[in-house]
Structure 1
Amino acid sequence: MVPAKLMDYFNKQPRIGVLSTASRDGKVDAAVFGSPQMTDEKTVVMALGENRTFKYLRENPNAIFTIVEQGETIMDWKGLRVYLRMKEYATSGEMLDTYQREIARVVGEEAAAMIHAVVTFEVGEVRPLVDMGQGWESSV
């Protein structure tokens, strides 16, 4: 997928997706998110609570964000798997404060108070939701 189209698709609202992570010793987690945003062709920013997802990312920075759009039939469903690697996170400071203010404006103070960290990811690979062929891969 062309990076500009990936940004449009990734940032389209309303949408939700699933962020999958794994701990250092292989325990897995999957959590539903609606807030991740691509800020440029290689960067995704996401707010997290003080939860299992954040814990696992600090142990293992690799994750996958899966976006699914329902179709009329199962063969009409669309989506992507976006492979990510955490570059940095902030649990205090201007980056967190700015994100919390924006969440408070859009969703409310209660939601903003649940944000413990803002995480920045680098996009590594993008794959289709369903990949029945062999060898199809696309690096962004």
Structure 2
Amino acid sequence: MHFQVTPWYSAAATASVNSPVGQLRRDKELEVELTRLRIQEVEKRIEREMMIQQRTKLDRDEYEFKPIETPAFIRPTERQTDLPRLEIQRFAGNSKSHWSFNKAFELGVENRTNDNQARLDCLIQDCDKPAKASIQHCTILEEDRGYLDTKEILRVRV
């Protein structure tokens, strides 16, 4: 079978598109398309806002101060590189030189590191025989207690 499109059918189809019903159908299709475009626009705004918030958070995190825990294996390196040794007069245990030695040690070592083990090591190295003998046992104590006890022993025995 072979069907032919007659001019009457084409005219009817055209008429239905131009009819009020056809116009209503086109209006609904346009309304649906417009709604779809609005949804896409809102999604893009949301995405843009999320990117701005993420960028702001990254910028904030970048400038936020966070203390860094120094791993134990880095501490010896810190002692060697971050503490350029200033000449500190050695301490033999006499009371006349204790104040000047203590001040020089504070400026040369104590103020340059927070690592009490490094401070203790430097303090022992900078003491001579009598003073060194009185504090040598502090190396077996915990690093914080060992350093504080050493400073107290040197202060009291002088």
Task: Determine if the TM-score, normalized by the shorter chain, exceeds 0.5.
Answer: no
Determine which structure has more spread, i.e. the larger CA radius of gyration.
2
Name the structure with the higher strand share: 1
Output the TM-score relative to the length of structure 1.
0.23
Structure ranking higher on relative contact order (CA contacts 8 Å, 6+ apart): 1
Output the TM-score relative to the length of structure 2.
0.22
